[in-house]
């Protein structure tokens, strides 16, 4: 129920931002944001602006709310004052790694899950959150946990959250832009609509948006998989290559934790599909990640 509420709140925020931005562009800057000119013909420049506002709004609102949503949807308990030696060690380790990586100290938290996992999120690299599961702390050695923390700190230092949001925003923009052009073509040529938008336009836009959306998801997931290799390499630098390899080997026999979509791309361990579904996974297979580290990549 909590996740549904957060999902609804996020979408309300996205719609509000889109409305405000489009109104401001139209009212204060005289920008045509309808996508059409006065003769009812496509205005590609206007349509691109409209598509960009819609495409980037969802991506960056989700990023801006990511820490807040993570704390609530995952039940993250922040370590503000360490209550025991384990929490003190977590704080000290992240503090040392953040200093090595050249970023400000992230917030550190623990979330209740029996499966070993961790994630990092945040809109800015100097105001991030790194969280680990209870299962990870219970089932991994201290050296392996150190490597996992290094992986997540590397995600933050590399700016992966912002980069993927930018990539998502760009592909969203072109999905919206191209689907509306295709819908307009079908409406005018196939359904012979000469003014306004007929039902053929709305159906066609929906169909093309789904089709282009699948292709866009594959592009975003490819970028995400490359970022995982880079974060593994960063974890190896911060904690040691042997520790990073050992941590990934430990995860091979573990069941990945279920995580909200906005955090999943930055978790240390996510389920990997086979066949065509591989194109739509955010993480490469653990065997490939281990091999890359063993080969010094």
pLDDT at 296 over 80: no
Known catalytic residues are 152
Which pTM value belongs to this model?
0.86
- Structural domains in the chain? 76-297 (3.30.2010.10)
- pLDDT tens digit sequence for 245-288: 999 999 987 765 556 555 555 566 665 555 667 778 888 999 99
Give the residue carrying structure tokens 């990511």: 66
Contact of 269 with 251, CB cutoff 8 Å: yes
Contact of 125 with 67, CB cutoff 8 Å: no
Give the model's pLDDT for residue 260.
Answer: 58
Cα separation, 95 vs 107, whole angstroms:
10
- pLDDT tens digit sequence for 77-111: 999 999 999 999 999 999 999 999 999 999 999 99
Give the 3-state DSSP-derived string for 218-266, with helices as H, strands as E and coil as C. HHHHHHHHHHHHHHHHHHHHHHCHHHHHHHHHHHHCCCCCCCCHHHHCC
Which is it for strands 118-121 and 129-133: parallel, antiparallel or unpaired?
antiparallel
- pLDDT tens digit sequence for 118-156: 999 999 999 999 999 999 999 999 999 999 999 999 999
- pLDDT tens digit sequence for 11-24: 677 677 777 877 78
- pLDDT tens digit sequence for 205-258: 999 999 999 999 999 999 999 999 999 999 999 999 999 999 999 998 776 555
Give the model's pLDDT for residue 93.
Answer: 98
- pLDDT tens digit sequence for 44-84: 889 899 999 998 998 888 888 889 888 888 899 999 999 99
């Amino acid at each position: 129920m909590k996740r549904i509420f957060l999902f609804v709140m996020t979408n309300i925020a996205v719609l509000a931002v889109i409305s405000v931005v489009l109104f401001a562009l139209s009212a204060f800057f005289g920008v045509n944001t309808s996508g059409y000119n006065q003769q009812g013909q496509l205005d590609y420049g206007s349509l691109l602006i409209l598509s960009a506002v819609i495409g980037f709004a969802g991506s960056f609102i989700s990023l801006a709310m990511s820490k807040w949503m993570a704390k609530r949807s995952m039940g993250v308990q922040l370590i503000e004052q360490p209550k025991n030696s384990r929490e003190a060690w977590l704080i000290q380790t992240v503090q040392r790694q953040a200093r090595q990586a050249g970023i400000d100290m992230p917030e550190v938290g623990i979330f209740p899950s029996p499966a070993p996992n961790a994630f990092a999120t945040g809109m800015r690299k100097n105001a991030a959150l790194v969280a680990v599961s209870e299962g990870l702390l219970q089932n991994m050695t201290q050296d392996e946990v150190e490597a996992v923390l290094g992986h997540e700190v590397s995600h933050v230092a590399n700016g992966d959250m912002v980069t993927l949001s930018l990539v998502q925003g760009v592909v969203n923009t072109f999905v919206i832009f191209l689907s509306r052009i295709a819908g307009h073509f079908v409406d005018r040529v196939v359904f012979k609509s000469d003014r306004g938008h007929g039902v053929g336009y709305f159906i066609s836009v929906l169909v093309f948006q789904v089709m282009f959306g699948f292709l866009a998801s594959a592009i975003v997931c490819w970028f995400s998989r490359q970022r995982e290799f880079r974060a593994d390499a960063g974890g190896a630098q911060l904690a040691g290559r042997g520790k990073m390899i050992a941590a990934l080997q430990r995860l091979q026999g573990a069941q990945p934790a279920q995580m909200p979509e906005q955090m999943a791309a930055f978790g240390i361990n996510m389920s990997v599909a086979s066949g065509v579904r591989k194109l739509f996974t955010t993480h490469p297979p653990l065997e490939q990640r281990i091999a890359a580290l063993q080969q010094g990549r």
